[in-house]
Structure 1
Amino acid sequence: MDYQQIEEKLKSLARQSPFLSLETIGKTASGLNLYCVGITKDANTYNLAFCQTQAQQMITNPEEFLQSEKKIPIMINASIHGSEISGTDAVLHLIERIAIKKDKDILRLLENIILICIICANPEGREQQTRYNGNGFDLNRDFITQSQKETKAVAQLIAKCNPLVFLDLHGYVNKDPKKIGLIEPCTPPHNPNYEYDLYEKWAFPMAQSIESYIVNRKDSFQSNRYKGMSGAYIPYRDSTKGWDDYGAYYAAMYAMLHGSIGVTIEAPTEGNDGLLWLYYVMLGACEFVQAQKSKLLQNIITFFNRGAKRRHPHQAAGFFPNAYILPVPRDDASPAYQVIDHLMKNGVKVEMAEKGFIYGKKVFLKGTFIIPMNQPKAVVANTFLWTGENLSKGSINITNLSSWSLPLLWGAECIPVKASLAVKTTPVSQLVKRYYVSGNGPFILKSRSVESISFIQKLLSQGISVKCTKSGEFIIEHTDKNWLRKQARGTGLTLSSASPARSSTLLRTKKVAIIRDDGLFHAQSHAGTKEALKEMGFQVKELHPRSLTDRAQLKDIDVLIYSGVKQLFYLPSKVSSRYHHAILKSEEQLAACKETITAFIERGGRFIGIGAGAAKSIKKPLGLTKVGIQTDESNNHAILNINYLQSPLTYGYSSGSIGFVYRPVWFTNTKGAEVVATYSKAPNSFISGYWPGYEKAQGQPVMTAEKDNRVILIGLEIGFRQHPSYLYSLLANAIYL
């Protein structure tokens, strides 16, 4: 069934049944509607608006809430990985059982429950049978950044409705021949921001209850495999290896930040049995919630009370500060605004200082943002704002990302306040992004944030003359202050009169292309960098590796960027047949690619490689660098200090500024190359993440330039999942250079 047929069926069923309400909660990357179906008795009354009002009452007046009429919200998120279609099909089956067959056993569960069903969280992925969305993003890795429209829609629904239980339906996993499928909770370590004692108290019993519900009905399945099951695989109980919930970029783990019992569910297989297995998961969860509803309500009330009163499990060790201070720099407030806007959209209360104040011998101006940590959504705030922890030591199971600090990776200063803070504040109900244009032209822009690069790109596209000084500042040679003020409105930037620059370079628009990954290993590895370029205002042409066999493809291109896995330039004999569509077909095509790229560089084109995968392919098979490439384990990652050396490539960064790595790489044998950045040698340079053996990379080059800056290797993952925007300017520098 294609997505249009799903839409038509949903609309038809909603018209037929008093138990269904159909609402649009957002759009996909290409503009398709995202649908949410509310399922309960009297669905017109007990809809999403009711859920949001009830959630607000639960947070602001919990005692009154416990005495009032209530419906228990359970949210079901289906098929966020588009190729895992069973989730959507199972929810449709559930809806049909209610709307058409009026199943009495299900209707009995709806007396006190509202099912909030996101029918298909990734319509484009379903249509294309891919894990990722139309922009190439794995949406189940996007719930901290929320860079994609689909993720924003689901996150907003969670933040506003505060479901007691959140089920994220996936597939297809089998860890044990008899315990088929998978139901969380997970193995340690657990994110210390979670109120894990409250979660674990109910997540594990619920998993066992769902398991029993399925096993008690195993004779209704068709295959012997399902009929012979002894249970489901529950990592918390059954795993000795990692199945972690540390990162809140997963949908279910993001829901945990809001007090939900967030659970990822992995169906065993596709087909009718897999669909029926997920159907029983949903009914089993409803049975559990129905039986435990008063205790579950008290559990989430306890969660919010802990936030409001700062009574967290780790509070004795001072884990949660009293507040965070987020200054608003005069030159460029856009990174601070980005963080604050994100916090507010995720339900965090933000305040603003009414007067200047002093804290820790530092002066903060009127308008400084304060994030108090005595609030119900303190867990959300602290998860987003803390610097993270070093998980590299000891025996732990980390299977994905564990470092993501928004202030560090978005370029905003953020100061945790351990002591009391005596400053009068005003709640921020709506974010107003201030900007300043003063004096007479030409004007100077001192920032190199994403907002400033985007602003410069907009001016260049309109034919405005812009120069870059020797110290990296932008000089805008325009004299109409009123016109510039309109252009700068809402940016957070400051433009002021510029003194004549002794040495400067005239910027021009650059034609940029990026090498396209069409889906190696269920992902599009270039997607984050592509979107980062677009966010900065660059027009980007995507080129499949096979298209590079034609020299004409690079005829009008100034900069070619490779930000992908090393296998993009592998031959079919080295890659699984399922990925052959994404790579070259033959030795002849590889040779032609080498000739095209070599000729491009020789005529003055610039080739930028980002990350370990690109560096490896640029070394071999492309043979475009003599620098040695050293890499570590593919799952290692970190936020750390980088020693940025003085160079036009590092404008805006200094020794000790932040970097981010994923699948770490460093360079050796750099004779003949200019080293412009190295890993810091400082003892405390590792800030957060998981990288055992990081010491061997300390002091080693992580960014080099060769052939008169025509081949640039950047070992940092500057476009990773469209997240580390503080590092985007490294790419802009390399393009402008």
Structure 2
Amino acid sequence: MSHRTGPAALTGVLALALSTGLVAAPVSAAPSVPAAQVSAAPLGAQPLGDAAYPRQEPLPEPPVEETDAALKPGLTAYHDIARRLNAAMEGSDRVSAEVLTQTAGGRQVYLVTLTAKENANQARRQAAYRDLITEDPAAAARDRRLAQQYKTPVFVNANIHGNEFEGTDAALRLVEDYATSNDASVKQLLKRSRIHLVISANPDGRHDNTRRNAAGFDLNRDFVTATQPETVAVRDALLHTQPLLMLDLHGYVNGTLVEPTTPPHGENYEYDLFIKHAYPNGLGMEEAVNGLGYDEGDGVRPVQVPLRDWDEGWDDWPPIFTPQYAALHGAVAHTIEIPLRVNNASYDLPAEELRRRSAINTDIAHAAITGTLEYAAAHRDELLADHIEIFRRGEAGEPQTPVEEGLFDGVIGPEDVYTTSYPRAYVIPVGDGQRSAPAAARLVDFLVANDVEVTRLEQDRLLAGRSYPAGSYVVDLHQAKRGMANTILGRGTDISDRVDAMYDISGWSHALLWGADVDTVPDGDPLRIAGELVEGADPTGSLADSSSGWLLPMQDPADVQAASLLLEQGVPVELLADGSVLVPADYPWAASNVVETFGVELAAAPAGASGGTLEASDRAVGVSGSAEERWALTEMGLDVREVSTAALNDGLDLSDLDALYVSTGLDWADLSDDARTEVRDFLADGGGIVGRGVAGARLNDAVDLVEATAVRGRSDANGVVGVDNDADSPVAAAATPETFVYSPVWFTELGDDVRVDQRLDEDPLVSGHWRATSAGEGGPEDAAGQAVVVSAEADGSRGVLFGTEPLFRAHPKGQFALVARALLWVGSDAR
């Protein structure tokens, strides 16, 4: 959350499916997957998860790399981190270092724990206390031995943005200081607490001087979707350690920015308990940082606390950031932005100046950590009691307690009061009441991975007047992690009238955007159910008896993966007029294989069904888009080839492609004459274009493919919107009734041959933030009922335009197949 601005290839589609987690329960053997692509396992599932301390298996020390970007500002290179940690472990029994995961670049993410020695029995006792806090928080609140003996966890996450360096060095300084400190307060702290530090959450970005990881993802936007190994590893470490206090160390804002944040505040937190400690701890960090003595003469301005000093613009509303995600698991969590920039253009400053700045930044980050540890020691009992109370309220199903207005001498005002009303439960049906079995299984697995309790019904049940078959999944909101459950499954809230400016996204909903049907059981329902908590979804997949072939519905990414594998295997599947895919009756082995592997459901094809035969080459897609969009298309098994203005100007040949996806990075105005000819020849040969947003619309205008005028909404508008899909469209017939927008675009002045595949509802915004501009334009009222996906065919070429964001990060995962359908429709010879 910094700056004031808003993979390695796998062998075959099957290996890709296994590595990305798109498939809920694969059961077939597959080619081996590179370690960098495999999601990190939860710490609790590893042998050392609850073992005694210290844990001191020596870390492998990588070779020296003089090109490491941390060296110029005088900071610790990646290759030196393991050496320093090994030295600290060798000289102290208070230091334990473990590897959380390996990155796409082959580097390791380390978790260090500082604590006094624990034997195996003591470690097991601590694990039992930790589990009791969420499994029976009422009992935990009464347990005097827990109150006296529990070693309260504090968590520090550093360097999640790779070129925000100094948090790593501050964490290493703390490790080395505490390893041998004779200070009585340090010794007492380590007896009563565990301090967990992720030394560098993004070692690839640190080495390469980039904000994002090696796959091009901003890891601090990935926590409620968890697509990257680094994010999964930090998430699982947070769940396993369950900290009371948490810091995420960033840069650069001058003066040092210390959260808590401006409104809007996350509606699924117990904010009254959160802010009770977050604000005083923030003031303590402010005192520690300002007490270092740095001033304007050093280029350092006084600390600023957004809750106190700003009106809006630095909020804790979305759960995409590390601290905001951690707060949903009971942590009092803060982002810290250290002051003196050493990255981007400032990295070109002389090394001497960079080292001066980085030394100051390291001091400040270290002061924030030690200030928080002092708060943890001084307020241990109250922090622990309130931590337990968060979960007790959830388990009891009690209403939230609104934060008291006027608190902290008027710092808290009515603008800071955010609460929600929880339903009694959510139900994820199985059988005929479920739109997509793979999507439902994926959602269940995701809930469990985020420590949400999910119950599988043992028998048919009537809930809120609707009958559900045995095997359906129920998420009872009377549970400790109800805030996390509701964050994932709730519809969200329209907050457009509460603030004018947001830091990042404002709306999300896995229930609405991940492609599964999810029903709500209203509050007050007795919810009499019988079943067991699950550790994951049941395997899905079905193959109907058929002599006429089978239909892949192409409504979920798993369906697209199945089609991609069939094409890769040379199976002559056919694209039908409604956008579904026909698997020929002569290939029962292939149909059975994708059912087992991807959990898809293949219904019997109608007698006589036929369409145009797809070719293996139809998997090849030229993509000029973001890293996240390339990832989403690759995850579905498509053969993604990068395209850009520069590549075309350098002579890129498009002749082996049938479809182009363009959302950014390809500007007609900057193409050479030869490059423009290449694009025109591509279209003349029957190639098609799927364009998204303004860049896609501009390219479409240049090649005159779809007759439509793009209209831009307010640029920072974003959220979940309701849509109406054309039931006869090969592109949108199987799409969900909600999608996602960011900087929305819609299309007017449509030509007679243009099909409207998808329109916005008359009241489009379900959740998020979307206002008109100051001139009264670009709001949801202007967009109501307008076309947001349109398509046409001209001179043998086809085009589709999207004004929505169907591949935005991994939030609208249920929309991914919509884009795949569009690419197959524009690119195939199946006419």
Q: CA deviation at 1:348?
A: 0.7
Say which is worse superposed, 472-481 or 30-39, in terms of deviation: 472-481
> Take 1:414 and 1:336, find their aligned partners in 2: how far apart are those partners?
8
Q: CA deviation at 1:511?
A: 4.7
User: Does residue 569 of structure 1 match 2:671?
Assistant: no
* Structure-2 residue corresponding to 1:498: 605
Alignment of 1:304-319 (within 5 A): 304-313=391-400, 319=421
* Structure-2 residue corresponding to 1:256: 327
Among 627, 634, 642, the residue aligned to 1:527:
627
- Residue by residue over 1:198-224, the C-alpha shift from the partner in whole angstroms, topping out at 9 and shown as x without a partner, is 101110000001111222232xx5972
The verdict on how the C-alpha distance between 1:717 and 1:590 changes in structure 2, with shifts beyond 3 A counting, is farther
Q: CA deviation at 1:427?
A: 2.0
Equivalent residues of 1:146, 1:152 under 8 A apart? yes
The verdict on how the C-alpha distance between 1:101 and 1:160 changes in structure 2, with shifts beyond 3 A counting, is closer
Say which is worse superposed, 183-192 or 25-34, in terms of deviation: 25-34
- Residue by residue over 1:589-627, the C-alpha shift from the partner in whole angstroms, topping out at 9 and shown as x without a partner, is 54443332222222221121123343345547x877653
- Residue by residue over 1:51-107, the C-alpha shift from the partner in whole angstroms, topping out at 9 and shown as x without a partner, is 655421322341336345221111000011111011112112222223367666644
Please state whether the residue corresponding to 1:457 is helix, strand or coil: helix
Please state whether the residue corresponding to 1:721 is helix, strand or coil: coil
* Structure-2 residue corresponding to 1:733: 821
Equivalent residues of 1:447, 1:652 under 8 A apart? no
Equivalent residues of 1:636, 1:691 under 8 A apart? yes
User: Does residue 688 of structure 1 match 2:762?
Assistant: no
* Structure-2 residue corresponding to 1:134: 214
* Structure-2 residue corresponding to 1:177: none
Equivalent residues of 1:324, 1:372 under 8 A apart? yes
What letter corresponds to residue 298 of structure 2 in structure 1?
A: R
The verdict on how the C-alpha distance between 1:20 and 1:332 changes in structure 2, with shifts beyond 3 A counting, is same
User: Does residue 701 of structure 1 match 2:787?
Assistant: yes
TM-score (structure 1 length as normaliser): 0.89
* Structure-2 residue corresponding to 1:225: 298
Please state whether the residue corresponding to 2:337 is helix, strand or coil: strand
User: Does residue 207 of structure 1 match 2:313?
Assistant: no
What letter corresponds to residue 369 of structure 1 in structure 2?
A: Y
Among 313, 327, 342, the residue aligned to 1:242:
313
Alignment of 1:68-79 (within 5 A): 69-79=149-159
> Take 1:625 and 1:434, find their aligned partners in 2: how far apart are those partners?
39
Say which is worse superposed, 47-56 or 67-76, in terms of deviation: 47-56
> Take 1:97 and 1:673, find their aligned partners in 2: how far apart are those partners?
72
> Take 1:36 and 1:536, find their aligned partners in 2: how far apart are those partners?
32
User: Does residue 559 of structure 1 match 2:639?
Assistant: no
The verdict on how the C-alpha distance between 1:724 and 1:318 changes in structure 2, with shifts beyond 3 A counting, is closer
Please state whether the residue corresponding to 2:263 is helix, strand or coil: coil
The verdict on how the C-alpha distance between 1:602 and 1:415 changes in structure 2, with shifts beyond 3 A counting, is same
Please state whether the residue corresponding to 2:683 is helix, strand or coil: helix
Q: CA deviation at 1:109?
A: 3.4
TM-score (structure 2 length as normaliser): 0.79
> Take 2:482 and 2:805, find their aligned partners in 1: how far apart are those partners?
29
User: Does residue 169 of structure 1 match 2:249?
Assistant: yes
Q: CA deviation at 1:457?
A: 0.9
* Structure-1 residue corresponding to 2:709: 628
> Take 2:398 and 2:428, find their aligned partners in 1: how far apart are those partners?
23
> Take 1:45 and 1:217, find their aligned partners in 2: how far apart are those partners?
40
User: Does residue 461 of structure 1 match 2:568?
Assistant: yes
Q: CA deviation at 1:161?
A: 1.5
Please state whether the residue corresponding to 2:782 is helix, strand or coil: helix
User: Does residue 34 of structure 1 match 2:116?
Assistant: no
Q: CA deviation at 1:393?
A: 2.2
What letter corresponds to residue 373 of structure 2 in structure 1?
A: C
> Take 1:49 and 1:137, find their aligned partners in 2: how far apart are those partners?
37
Among 624, 637, 640, the residue aligned to 2:721:
640
- Residue by residue over 1:449-491, the C-alpha shift from the partner in whole angstroms, topping out at 9 and shown as x without a partner, is 1111101111111111212333333321144646643442253
Alignment of 1:572-721 (within 5 A): 589-616=671-698, 618-619=700-701, 627-653=708-734, 657-671=737-751, 674-683=754-763, 685-692=764-771, 693-708=779-794, 709-721=797-809
What letter corresponds to residue 816 of structure 2 in structure 1?
A: Y
Alignment of 1:353-392 (within 5 A): 353-392=457-496
Q: CA deviation at 1:552?
A: 4.3
* Structure-2 residue corresponding to 1:424: 530
Q: CA deviation at 1:719?
A: 0.8
- Residue by residue over 1:524-570, the C-alpha shift from the partner in whole angstroms, topping out at 9 and shown as x without a partner, is x61121111112111111234211114443121111211226xx539
Say which is worse superposed, 328-337 or 409-418, in terms of deviation: 328-337
- Residue by residue over 1:418-456, the C-alpha shift from the partner in whole angstroms, topping out at 9 and shown as x without a partner, is 122233222213432132224245223335211111011
* Structure-1 residue corresponding to 2:423: 321
Q: CA deviation at 1:726?
A: 1.3
Equivalent residues of 1:184, 1:263 under 8 A apart? yes
Please state whether the residue corresponding to 1:726 is helix, strand or coil: helix
User: Does residue 512 of structure 1 match 2:592?
Assistant: no
Equivalent residues of 1:244, 1:397 under 8 A apart? no
Q: Percent identity?
A: 29
The verdict on how the C-alpha distance between 1:186 and 1:551 changes in structure 2, with shifts beyond 3 A counting, is same
Q: CA deviation at 1:500?
A: 2.4
User: Does residue 338 of structure 1 match 2:442?
Assistant: yes
* Structure-2 residue corresponding to 1:580: none
- Residue by residue over 1:110-135, the C-alpha shift from the partner in whole angstroms, topping out at 9 and shown as x without a partner, is 23221100011111111221111111
Please state whether the residue corresponding to 1:18 is helix, strand or coil: coil
The verdict on how the C-alpha distance between 1:439 and 1:643 changes in structure 2, with shifts beyond 3 A counting, is same
Structure 1 unaligned segments of length 5 or more: list them. 175-179, 517-524, 572-586
Please state whether the residue corresponding to 1:553 is helix, strand or coil: coil
The verdict on how the C-alpha distance between 1:597 and 1:106 changes in structure 2, with shifts beyond 3 A counting, is farther
Larger RCO: 1 or 2 (CA < 8 Å, sep 6+): 2
What letter corresponds to residue 759 of structure 2 in structure 1?
A: Y
Aligned length: 699
Say which is worse superposed, 94-103 or 145-154, in terms of deviation: 94-103
Q: CA deviation at 1:325?
A: 0.9
Please state whether the residue corresponding to 2:480 is helix, strand or coil: coil
Equivalent residues of 2:272, 2:401 under 8 A apart? no
> Take 1:151 and 1:52, find their aligned partners in 2: how far apart are those partners?
23
What letter corresponds to residue 620 of structure 2 in structure 1?
A: V
Equivalent residues of 2:759, 2:789 under 8 A apart? no
Alignment of 1:75-224 (within 5 A): 75-99=155-179, 106-174=186-254, 180-218=255-293, 221=294, 224=297
Q: CA deviation at 1:173?
A: 0.6
* Structure-2 residue corresponding to 1:434: 540
User: Does residue 19 of structure 1 match 2:94?
Assistant: yes
Say which is worse superposed, 390-399 or 623-632, in terms of deviation: 623-632
Equivalent residues of 1:348, 1:380 under 8 A apart? yes
What letter corresponds to residue 253 of structure 1 in structure 2?
A: Q
> Take 2:396 and 2:423, find their aligned partners in 1: how far apart are those partners?
12
Alignment of 1:269-308 (within 5 A): 269=340, 270=342, 271-308=358-395
> Take 2:745 and 2:509, find their aligned partners in 1: how far apart are those partners?
21
Equivalent residues of 2:732, 2:758 under 8 A apart? no
What letter corresponds to residue 639 of structure 1 in structure 2?
A: V
Please state whether the residue corresponding to 2:380 is helix, strand or coil: helix
CA RMSD of aligned residues (A): 2.7
* Structure-2 residue corresponding to 1:57: 132
> Take 1:55 and 1:185, find their aligned partners in 2: how far apart are those partners?
26
Equivalent residues of 1:513, 1:561 under 8 A apart? yes
> Take 2:707 and 2:536, find their aligned partners in 1: how far apart are those partners?
53
Q: CA deviation at 1:156?
A: 1.1
> Take 1:422 and 1:98, find their aligned partners in 2: how far apart are those partners?
52
The verdict on how the C-alpha distance between 1:613 and 1:13 changes in structure 2, with shifts beyond 3 A counting, is farther
